[in-house]
A and B are shown apart, each in its own frame.
Chain A
Amino acid sequence: MIFLRYAVYRLLTMVMTLWVVSILIFVIINLPPGDYLSNQIAELRATGQAEGVAKAEFLRKEYALDKPLWQQYLIWVGFVPGPQGYSGLIQGDFGWSFEFDRPVSEVVGDALWLTVLVNVSAVLFVYIVALPLGVLAAARSKTWVDYSAAFVGYLGLATPNFLLALILFYYGNKYLGLPIGGMMDPSFEGQPMSWAKVQSVLLHLIVPTFVIGTSGAAAMMQRLRANMLDELSKPYVETATAKGLPPARMLTKYPLRMAFNPFVADIGNLLPAMVSGSVLVSVVLGLQTIGPSLLTALKSQDQFLAGFVLMFVALLTLIGTMISDLLLVLLDPRIKYGERAR
C-alpha cells in the first residue's frame, strides 16, 4: 500500500521533471540563431525562387514560428491553442518535420519502437553478460578467471563500436549467415506483424545488440566486481560462512544482494547512454532507429523533429530511473519510502 503511494508519488515527480526537461530542450534547440524556415527563406531569396518563399512563409505562420519564443513553447507543448487550435505534444501532435516535409509522427513512425527494442535488448544483454562475469571475477579475484574477464572487458571498452560492428557483420555473415544491416528483411518492411517478421527482426537484432551492449557490459562488469570485492570483506560474509553455507549460495544470497543496488540504480543511466551511443552505430549498421533522424534533425535545425526525439530519449531515461528507484525500494528494506523508521 505504501509502495503504491510511493509509486504514484514517483510518477508525479517524473511528470514534473519531464515538464522541466521540455523547457530545457526547447531552449537549447532554439539557442542557435535562426530556424529551419528562416534559413530556407534566406536561401530561396538568394536563388530567387519566390513561390518557395510563399510556402515557407505559410509554414512559418502555420507553426507559429513568427511568435515570440515563449508562446512557441506553450503552443509546442500544447498548453495554449496555436494557429490550428490545441495541437501540441500533450494532444499527441508532434509537429511537422520541415526536412522530410512530413509530420514528425510519420518520420519517426516504426523507428520509435525499433529504438526501444534495440536498446532494451542491449540493456538485457549488458545485464546478462555483466552479472555472472562480474560475480565470478570478484569471487575468483586475482586468478586467471579475473584477469581474462578483465581482458575481454577492456577489449570491449576499447574497440570503437562501429569497427566492432563491421567486423561482426563480416564474420557473422561469413560463418553464421547472419544478415547484414537493417532491422528486418526488406521484404517485411511495411508489412503487418507476422511470425516470420518477428523472426527476421530477432535475427537482425543479434549483431546490433552485441555492438551497442559490449562496452556497457564491460563497464558494468568492472563496477560489479569492485562492489562485490568491497562486500566480500564485510563481516556479514564471515557470519554466513560460519553458518556453513556453501560458497555459491553464500555469494548469491548475501554479498551479491548488497552489490546489486548500484547495479539496479544504473538502469536509468544505461538507457540514455545507449540511445545516444547507438546513434553512430545505427548510422553505420543502417538500423531504422531514431538515431539517424536525430542526427539529421539537429544538423538542419529541424526543430520539431529534434525536439520530439530529445523528449523521447528523456522519457526513456526518466522511465528507466523510475524503474530502478521502484526496484531499489523493493530490494532494499533500509530505503523507507513514506516515512522514516524511528
Chain B
Amino acid sequence: MAPLISVEDLTIGFGASAPVVDGVSFEIPEGRTLALVGESGSGKTLTCRSILRILPGAAQLRSGKVLLAPENKDLLKISDRDIRDIRGNLISMIFQEPMRSLSPLHGIGDQVSEVLCLHRDAGRRDAKRSVMDMFDRVGFADPERTYRSYPFELSGGMRQRAMIAMAMVARPRLLIADEPTTALDVTTQAQVLGLIKDLQRQTEMSVILVTHDLGVVANMADDVVVMNRGRVMEAGPAAKVLSTPGHGYTRRLIAAAPLIPEVAKPANASGVADPILEMKSLRKTYKLRAGGWRKATSVTACRDINLSLVRGQTLAIVGESGSGKSTCARIALGAEVPDEGSEVWFHGKGADPLPVHDLARTERLRFQRQAQMVFQDPYSSLSPRMRIGATLTEPLEIHGIGDKQTRKEIAAERLKWVGLHKDMLSRYPHAFSGGQRQRLSIARALTLDPQLLICDEPTSALDVSVQDQILDLLEGIRDRMGLSYLFISHDLAVVSRIADEVAVMRQGVIVEQAPPDTLFYDPQHPYTKALIAAQPEPDIARPIDLALVAQGAGAPSSWPEMFRFDGQSAPDLRETSPGHKVRCHA
C-alpha cells in the first residue's frame, strides 16, 4: 500500500549536543495504524511532533524529510502558511494530558468548531452542526450540553473524547496521538482506544500512536517502530514484532510490561494474623464551605472501609481516580482526620496499639517515625532547592537522631539500599532521572527505619522498565527489613506482583477484596472484571473485551441487579468464600 507519509532520515538536536532523534525513517501506509514505541527520552514525541513542526523553540531540525502523499511535499520545508493549512486539517493531533490540553477559559464547542471555521470557512451554524455530529460519534450522551460546557466541567476521559472530536472534526487523513491514554484510568483508556479504532475504521484515516505501553500497541497497531535513545531499534508488523521480537531492547520492553497473571487456583485463606494497621468503619466526608450565597454541601470520599494490614505483608488498594483510595492512605498516615466513629489503630512492634487520630504530641512523633510515605510524582515530591543529602538527613534532624556525622552515614547507607551511590548526596534532584528520583523518595522514606510504608502510586509516573525495577526494589526492601506496605494503585497488573491482599474501590466503597490469586482466578464484581479486562496485554491474540469493560466501568446504578446501588444505599461487603469479599446483595 502506498505510504501516506514517509519520514526519511530525520535528525533533531538541541544546541551543540548529540542529536536526540538520530536518522529516523519510517512510513505510514494509508488507513493503517503505526505505533511509535519507546520510553521517555527515546525521541518518539519529538519525532511525531516534527511531522506537524510543533517543536520546542530550542530544537533544531538538522536533516531529514517528511513527505506527504500524493504530491510528496516536504512538510519540513514548506512555508509557515502552508503548514498551518495542513495542521488540524489534513493532519491533526491529540495530546497526552487532556486536563491541560484544552483552554480552560473557552467553551468546548468554541474550541472544537474553531477548526472548521479555520479550514472549512464554515459558518457558525454549519460548524456547530458538524461538531455536534462529531460529539455524538465520540460518545457524548448530550452533544448540545457538551457544546456549551467548559473543560473543567468534564472528567479526564470526557475531555480526551472532546480532544478526539476536535482532532477528527475536519476529517484528517492522519491522526497523531501522543500518549493519548497515559493520563487516564485503565477502564477509560480501554474505551478511548476503542473509540479511536472505531473512528479509524469509519474514516479510513491513518493513525500514529505514540506510546510506551506495548499492551496498547497490541490492541491498536498494524505496524510498530521501536525507538530507543533517538534511534529506531526495530520496525515491522505488530504481530511479528510482538510475537518474535528481533531486537534485545524490544524483548526487554515486552518482559517488563506488567501482566495480570493467569491463575490456576484461588489462594488459601489465611487466618487472622498479627496486624500492623487496622482501619475500622472508616468514613470521610468533605464539607464544602458555605460562603456568599453558597450553601454548605458535603461529599463522601470514602465510607465503610474495614481493612487490616498484616505485619510484613502488602495490602493494595486499587481504584480509579476519585475512588477514595488516596483519602484512605492519607487517613492511615494520620494526615487527614476521618469522620467521627472511624478508628485507625497502629500496632508498633512490641508496643500497645496506638489510635492514629487520637495521639498526644510525643506519641504522634513516635508514630510518624514508624509510618512513612512514598509519593506518586518523584518530580515534585523532592524539593528542587535542597541537595539530596539535606533531603535525606532532614527527617533525622527533626526527630533528633544522631549527630551530623551519623546522620550523613545513615543517609549514605539508605542510598546504598536503593541502589544509588553515596557520591550523589551533594547533588540536586534535577540531576536525576525519574526512576532515580523515585529511588531517592524511597530512601527518604526509609531514613527513619519505619515499620509501615504507605506507597501512593509509586510507579505510575515511570516508564515500564523503570517501574519493574522500582517494584523489585520495593519487594526486596520489604522482605529484607520486614516492612509492611499499604500500596495504592490504579493498576491491577502492578498490584498482582507485590500485594498479598487486594481491595478494589469504586465510588468510595470497597467492592471486592481478596488475595490477588483469588481475585484473578474468580473475579466476581463487574467492576473488578472490567478492570481486569481493560488491562492491555502485549499479545495481539488477546484484545481488550470492550463490552465487559463498558458494563463494569459504568455507574453503580447500571450494574447487574445483584451488585447495583445508587448513592449511599450500597449493599454490604459479604464474604462469598473464605477470604473473598464482594459487595453484593444476598
Contact = CB atoms under 8 A, between A and B. Distances in A.
Given A236-B103, A334-B105, A341-B153, A243 B293 contact: no
A294 to B, nearest CB: 35
A242 B52 contact: yes
B95 A239 contact: yes
B406 interface: no
Interface in B62-121: 84-89, 92-93, 95-97, 100-107, 114-115, 118-119
B166 A243 contact: yes
Which bucket holds chain B's interface residue count?
35 or more
A236 B101 contact: yes
A340 B294 contact: yes
Given A244-B87, A244-B118, A245-B114, A238 B105 contact: no
A9 B291 CA distance: 11
- Which of A5, A234, A258, A333 gathers most chain B CB within 10 Å? A333
Interface string A241-271: 1111110000001100110000000000000
Given A238-B95, A241-B54, A242-B52, A9 B88 contact: no
Contact of B163 (A239, A246, A331, A337): A239
B367 interface: no
- Which of A6, A246, A339 gathers most chain B CB within 10 Å? A339
Contact of B293 (A242, A331, A339): A339
A236 B166 contact: no
Interface string A328-342: 000111100111111
Nearest to A233: B56
A340 B95 CA distance: 29
B150 A242 contact: no
Given A5-B293, A339-B294, A331 B105 contact: yes
Contacts of B270: none
Contacts of B17: none
B54 A334 contact: no
Given A238-B95, A245-B84, A337 B292 contact: yes
A340 B100 CA distance: 21
Contacts of B166: 239, 243
B89 A244 contact: yes
B103 A245 contact: no
A240 interface: yes
Contacts of A243: 87-88, 92, 114-115, 118, 166
B103 A258 contact: yes
A235 interface: yes
Contacts of B86: 244
Nearest to B110: A253
Nearest to A246: B84
B31 to A, nearest CB: 22
A342 B297 contact: yes
A267 to B, nearest CB: 19
Nearest to A234: B100
Given A241-B54, A341-B153, A257 B105 contact: yes
Contacts of A5: 293
- Which of A6, A234, A239, A334 gathers most chain B CB within 10 Å? A239
Contacts of B107: 333
A331 B163 CA distance: 23
Interface in B264-317: 288, 292-295, 297, 299
Interface in A282-333: 331-333
A270 to B, nearest CB: 23
B289 to A, nearest CB: 9
A340 B295 CA distance: 9
B140 interface: no
- Which of A9, A234, A235 gathers most chain B CB within 10 Å? A235
Contacts, number: 92
B152 interface: yes
Interface string B321-357: 0000000000000000000000000000000000000
Contact of B288 (A6, A238, A340): A340
Given A5-B293, A235-B100, A334 B150 contact: yes
B105 A244 contact: no
Contacts of A239: 93, 95, 101-103, 163, 166
A243 B92 CA distance: 7
A18 B104 CA distance: 34
Given A244-B88, A244-B89, A334-B104, A238 B115 contact: no
Nearest to A249: B118
B567 to A, nearest CB: 14
B297 A340 contact: yes
Given A9-B292, A338-B294, A333 B105 contact: yes
A243 B102 CA distance: 12
Contact of B103 (A6, A254, A331, A339): A254
Interface in A1-55: 5-6, 9
A338 B100 contact: no
B369 to A, nearest CB: 39
A341 B288 CA distance: 11
B102 A244 contact: no
A238 B54 contact: yes
Given A243-B114, A244-B87, A245-B118, A235 B101 contact: yes
A197 B523 CA distance: 87
A242 B105 contact: no
A236 B101 CA distance: 4
Contacts of B292: 6, 9, 337-338
B553 to A, nearest CB: 22
Contacts of A332: 105
Contacts of A254: 103, 106
Given A246-B84, A334-B152, A341-B153, A236 B294 contact: no
Contacts of B114: 243, 245
A340 B288 CA distance: 9
B105 A258 contact: yes
B105 A235 contact: no
B103 A240 contact: yes
A244 B101 contact: no
Nearest 10 A-B pairs (CB), nearest first?
A244-B87, A243-B88, A244-B88, A242-B93, A235-B101, A236-B103, A244-B84, A235-B100, A239-B101, A333-B150
Given A257-B105, A334-B150, 18 more contacts: A6-B292, A238-B95, A239-B93, A239-B95, A241-B54, A244-B84, A244-B87, A244-B119, A245-B118, A257-B103, A333-B105, A334-B105, A334-B152, A337-B292, A338-B293, A338-B294, A339-B293, A342-B299
Interface of A: 5-6, 9, 234-236, 238-246, 253-254, 257-258, 331-334, 337-342
13 contacts: A234-B100, A235-B101, A236-B101, A239-B95, A239-B103, A243-B118, A244-B87, A244-B88, A244-B89, A257-B105, A257-B106, A338-B292, A339-B295
